[in-house]
Amino acid sequence: MVDNFAARKVIFDAASKLDNVDVFTGGNDDAYFGSVYHYQRRNGQDVTDHPVTMHPEYENPPDRNPGELSCQERAKIEGGTQILATNMAVASFLLARVQKTIVNEEKPTEGEIYFDLGVGKAESYDRSASRVEVNA
């Protein structure tokens, strides 16, 4: 997915209207912290919560969708610095989520995973859609 809250909102909102979809997103800061999120819908019901339930930045994004920016505005966006190890950890967590839920067809037991390579800790958070039980 794209590295922009406004663009992610468009994707998550579109996915929330589909019957069956998996959306994986991940990000990291300029140091050792990162997270991945898995939004899953089956049979028209949320299996994991729409990310707006825990992340208000998806309801009211603090940025603008790059597709709505002029060429001049896009040219002014700073790239930021990131650490390769943290980027690779995000990619590894995302690939593991795909393996678990798509390839192995296991129901997600968590929607979001946070990690901090600086202290060597990863923690998952249950983001299952508590209001609906979905039978796979």
What residue spans define the domains of the chain? 5-125
Structural tokens at position 115: 């990690």
Amino acid 6: pLDDT: 82
Q: How far apart are CA 130 and CA 39, in angstroms?
A: 14
Res. 8 pLDDT band, cuts 50 70 90 = confident
Q: What number is the average pLDDT over the span 46-62?
A: 82
The whole-number pLDDT of residue 136 equals 39
Tell whether the model's pLDDT for residue 14 goes beyond 80: yes
Task: Grade residue 131 by pLDDT with cuts at 50, 70 and 90.
Answer: very low
86-114 average pLDDT score: 90
Cβ count near 34 (within 10 Å):
25
**pTM, two decimal places:** 0.76
pLDDT, one tens digit per residue, over 76-99 is 766 666 788 988 999 999 999 999
The sign of the CA dihedral 75, 80, 81, 85 is negative
Q: Provide the percentage of residues in the chain whose pLDDT is more than 70.
A: 79
